[in-house]
Structure 1
Amino acid sequence: MADTTRNLGLPLIAAAQAQKHVTHNEALTALDALVQLACLDKDLAAPPAGPAEGDRYLVTAASPTGAWAGLSGQVVRFADGVWAGAMPRPGWFAYVIDEADLYVFTGTAWASFRGSLTALQNLTRLGIGTAADATNRFALKADAALLSWDDVTPGSGNLRVTLNKQAAAKDAGFTVQTGFSTRALLGSFGSDDFSLKVSPDGAAFFTPLTASASTGRLTLGRIAGPLEISANAGALPDTLPQTVLRVSSADGQQARLVFDSFGATAPGNFIFRTANGTAAAPSALPAGTSMGQFSAFGYGTTTYGSSARAQVAFATTEAWTDSAQGARVLIRTTPIGTAGIVEVFSAESNGAIRLVPLASDPTAGVAQGQLYANSTAAALKWHTGTAWARISNFAKFASTTSFDNYVGAANWTKVQFNTADSNDQGAFVAASNRFVAPEAGLYGFDTALVFRKNGSNAPTAFEAQFYRNGTPAGRGRTSATGTLVDGVTAIDLSTALKLAAGDTVEVFVRFSGADGYVAASDSLFSGRQMA
């Protein structure tokens, strides 16, 4: 029969033993020391001075000294002024008070139980705050979870979470649920493509995002606008209604959309596709439909304009069929000092270029090289840097007289040209026998005059000159002298005059020595605007 218990080595009372109380008390003392074991320290190699009754220590030193000599590896207790030791057995637990740590005896040494928990291996299940099960062999119930890089042992400073699946056709991903009903999936599902899937009910799924594993290309499902791409760290103004995509730069920088193309037959292409009707039931475009436009908006003194202030647009010019699809390109701008956009230029479907006419010369924002159509003058004009000048439909005329004009001797007399063979711009006024300049410019004039005698009278000189605003122009004068031959003697005169708008030009003649006539036949007065 054994003298002590198997595990704690407590003394047993022998049969017919005298003084049984001694053995019993010794066993109780050992129980008091070893049960709910809490030791003050485990790192001393010699007994402390002044121990208290019942103090316990783990002696881990290989060669302890003093009263602990020979007690290496044992649990020692101070009782009745004596240190007594007990040899621990594998699996014993001891709480070390000065370390606030629980130690377990491995059979050869005391090891930190907390330390042993950092190296758990091959657990079949682990539940934190909840119970793990056969499906969810790791389960966590908490408000938050943190995974951080290893800052205790030397490491790379990196952190990776790896989801490894058996084959491409399997699933590896994160599942987001509401009330344990799936609402989102993120990962690779049924292939190696990476995708985001969402669901309203856990049954039907939409895939708004997929990244191809084979090409690296990103596929987006339908995007509810606006999609914003911005390098601006500050707040942005509200977008316009129906905005689908907004691209903004950093303050002070350009926002750019770049189309890189390679190969002469593969240019970048910005495409508008327009149909009448609805997306579900498109129909042919009617005439006058806008098919697409580039619009520019800007900021005034207090806010952005509510509509475009400059625009390039594309519009139909006929009701479309599959074989008749006429279209035009037009440009709209906003006149200076206004806030309303107007069409100013277009390339028509018939190949013509159209400048929208203005009734008068522009006065604001003019600069050299500008070109416009004047509806009043029915002409194209350009700005020379100092003034608007006509470049088409110049004023020109050719006039005659329907009767022989009598001219008294020695008097300058106006020739009454009263019939216009041609009269562009209506500048020749037959009723007053004169040319009236429709606008300022340089004009050239010609006149041819034939002598007709009056009876037997024989003038000795036949003169002609142009009058401007009722007085001699002083820009040319001609004459024929000597014997004037009836119906044969003729004089020609040409000049160039710089006129202001409204200036008049007339032809005057004078006979010396006798009177005579300017013959209706073969006499003319003509002119043209040169600049």
Structure 2
Amino acid sequence: MSDITARLDLPLIQPSQAQKHVTHNEALQVLDGLVQAALEETGANTPPFEPVTGTLYAIGPSPTDDWAGEPNKLALRITEAWLFIDPQLGWRAWDKSTEQFKVFDGTGWAEITPDLDNLDGIGINTASDGTNRLAVASAATLLTHEGAGHQLKVNKSADTDTASLLFQSNWTGHAEMGLAGDTAFSVKVSDDGTTWYNALKAAGNSGNVAIGAQPTSDSKLRVVIDQSGPWNTAFERYVNSGGSHNFLFRKARGTEASPVAVQSGDALMSITSSGHDGSDFAAVGVLRFDAETVTGTDISGRMEIVLADTSGNLQARAAIDEAGNMGIGTTTPSTTLDVNGPARVKGYTVAGAPLAADAGPGAIILVNDEAGGAVLAFSDGTDWRRVTDRAVIS
């Protein structure tokens, strides 16, 4: 008959054994230390200066003093002595120093980590369900880095599925952003969670952006206002100074990373107005700004107004060049005002003509009822005078 138990090495009372209580008490002391075991410390190599009876330590690999020669054992403090126990694979105990459950893996005491893979669901301060397998009820949810960057990934199975963030109020959706039914990034809004409006959409194959519509390949930014919405597009600025609201259009050759100077004649900016002809949009007018002359870092400019004729062909109708000369009917003005065609000034009667002083010197009008017939008149700052003989009109 063995004198110890098979698993815990507890001493057994032998037949006809004297002082049976000694063996019995020793077994009880071991059970007292191992049942619902609580370790004061794991990996300890130095025994405490004033040990307390009933305390249990997991000795480290290099013990000293009273623990010398007992590496990796359990040290149970009994009355005036240490009882050393060989831990066995799978023993578990609570580590008071780290507030963790530990398990003996055959060489040391390791933290017990639960298997969190392939769980059916996790509910934190709330319950998860078959759709919301991760549910969190909290004032905030923190996702942070572990030394570098951090990504939050939302993946979908197919292009036609949805991968998005939905913002709700009392479980009614009012805003959603992500990949909604395609691969373009979109931002949608709703007042009732049923009728949704595309506020913004960016095409994944081009980066082209649309507001209120689908992005197209020919427009980097497309803004669509349908008949059911307001027709204004407002750009506002509020400032306590005389500063203006500015639209800034820039043009360079080369690339954004390595811009290169524009050249003489380069088109810098144009605004095109188009109308739908029943089959497609047709341009009817263009306001264009060009670099007229480039000399070193000096760039002079010109502006042209282009309009479609009755056949739909765009024609340059007016221009202002770098010298400030304005041409009407010509794009190459040679004087301050160069009109290629008849010019008409407003006609007045002698009695109905505006005051010459108000019009200012150099102003020209047509006097319809001047003696001898209609005649042009100019202002000298005081009177209107006929251009034919400088006589004051009468």
Q: Determine if the TM-score, normalized by the shorter chain, exceeds 0.5.
A: yes
Go from structure 1 to structure 2 and tell me whether the alpha carbon gap of 1:375 and 1:242 turns closer, same or farther (over 3 Å shift): farther
In the other structure, the counterpart of 1:190 is 181
Inter-partner Cα distance in structure 2 for 1:9 and 1:392: 134
- Give 1:381 deviation, angstroms: 3.6
Task: Give, as a single letter, the amino acid of the residue that structure 1 aligns with 2:70.
Answer: L
Residue equivalent to 1:145: 141
The separation in 1 between residues aligned to 2:43 and 2:131, in whole angstroms, is: 46
Residue 73 of structure 1 pairs with residue 72 of structure 2: yes
How far does residue 30 in structure 1 lie from its aligned partner after superposition? 1.9
Q: Which has the higher contact order (CA 8 A, sep 6+)?
A: 1
Separation in 1, partners of 2:73, 2:6: 17
CA drift of 1:82 comes to 1.1
Amino acid at match of 2:245: A
Deviations 1:315-366 (A, max 9, x none): xxxxxxxxxxxxxxxxxxxxxxxxxxxxxxxxxxx98454897642446xx8
Conservation of the 8 A alpha-carbon contact between 2:356 and 2:384: no
Contact 2:90/2:104, CA 8 A, preserved across alignment: yes
Identify the residue that residue 246 of structure 1 maps to in structure 2. 235
User: CA 1:170/1:158 → structure 2, altered by over 3 Å: closer, same or farther?
Assistant: same
Preserved contact between residue 42 and residue 109 of structure 2 (Cα < 8 Å): no
Task: Write the distance in 1 (CA, Å) between the matches of 2:10 and 2:343.
Answer: 117
Say if 1:362 and 1:7 are closer, same or farther in 2 by CA, change over 3 A: farther
C-alpha distance in 2 between matches for 1:242 and 1:204: 21
Structure 1: 5+ residue runs without aligned partners? Answer: 223-240, 274-349, 398-423, 427-531
**Secondary structure of the corresponding residue to residue 143 of structure 2:** coil
- Secondary structure, counterpart of 1:268 in structure 2: strand
The separation in 2 between residues aligned to 1:353 and 1:271, in whole angstroms, is: 32
The alpha-carbon deviation at position 191 of structure 1 amounts to 1.4
CA separation of 1:180 and 1:249: change in aligned 2, threshold 3 A: closer
Equivalent residue runs for 1:330-349 within 5 Å: none
Q: Structure 2 counterpart of 1:255, which letter?
A: H
1:42 is paired with a residue of what secondary structure?
strand
**Which sits farther off after the overlay, 185-194 or 66-75?**
66-75
Deviations 1:343-396 (A, max 9, x none): xxxxxxx98454897642446xx8766x3659999874446xxx4464546778
Describe how 1:277-316 pairs up with structure 2 within 5 A.
none
List alignment gaps of at least 5 residues for structure 2: 214-229, 252-264, 277-341, 371-375
User: Relative to 1, partners in 2 of residues 1:367 and 1:23: Cα closer, same or farther, differing over 3 Å?
Assistant: farther
Corresponding residue SS for 2:44:
coil
* One-letter amino acid of the structure 2 residue matched with residue 246 of structure 1: F
For the 8 Å contact 1:359–1:375, the answer to whether it is kept is no
Q: CA-atom RMSD, angstroms?
A: 4.4
CA distance in structure 2 between the partners assigned to 1:66 and 1:351 by the alignment: 117
Q: Which amino acid aligns with 2:234?
A: L
Deviations 1:64-106 (A, max 9, x none): 2333233211221221211112222344343444445543322
Q: Give the count of matched residue pairs.
A: 290
CA pair 360-211 structure 1, distance change in 2 beyond 3 A: same
Distance in 2 (CA, whole Å) between partners of 1:376 and 1:271 is 41
Bigger drift between 135-144 and 7-16 goes to 7-16
Asked if residue 50 in structure 1 is aligned to residue 50 in structure 2, the reply is yes
| One-letter amino acid of the structure 2 residue matched with residue 66 of structure 1 | D
Alignment partner for residue 212 of structure 2, among 213, 217, 221?
Answer: 221
1:46–1:368 distance in 2 versus 1, CA, 3 Å:
same
Q: For 2:123 and 2:103, how far apart are their aligned partners in 1?
A: 23
Change (3 A) 1:72 1:125: farther
Q: Is the 8 A contact 1:381 1:388 kept in 2?
A: no
- Tell me by how many angstroms 1:59 deviates: 0.3
Task: Give matches, 1:366-405, under 5 Å.
Answer: 371=363, 380-382=377-379, 387-388=381-382, 390=384, 392=386
Distance 1:195 1:181 in 2: 19
Larger CA Rg, structure 1 vs 2: 1
Please point out which of 221, 228, 246 is paired with 1:256: 246
Report deviation, 1:139: 2.4
Is 1:130 equivalent to 2:126 in the alignment? yes
The whole-number CA distance in structure 2 between the counterparts of 1:167 and 1:258 is 41
Distance in 2 between residues matched to 1:13 and 1:392, nearest whole Å: 145
Residue 111 of structure 1: aligned partner: 110
Q: Distance in 1 between matches of 2:27 and 2:163?
A: 61
User: How far 1:188 moved relative to its partner?
Assistant: 0.8
The alpha carbon displacement at 1:142 in A equals 1.4
Q: Aligned partners of 2:369, 2:85: CA distance in 1, in Å? A: 125
Give the TM-score of the pair, scaled to structure 2.
Answer: 0.58
Q: 1:361 to 1:389 in 2, by over 3 A?
A: closer
Is 1:268 matched with 2:301?
no
Paired residues of 2:39 and 2:96 also in contact (CA < 8 A): yes
* Structure-2 change in CA distance of 1:388 and 1:46 (3 Å): same
1:83 is paired with a residue of what secondary structure?
Answer: strand
Q: 2:40–2:57: 8 Å Cα contact kept in structure 1?
A: yes
Q: Distance in 2 between matches of 1:97 and 1:68?
A: 20
> Any idea what SS the aligned residue of 1:41 has?
strand
Could you tell me the TM-score, scaled by structure 1's length?
0.45
Distance (whole Å) between structure 1 residues aligned to residue 273 and residue 247 of structure 2: 11
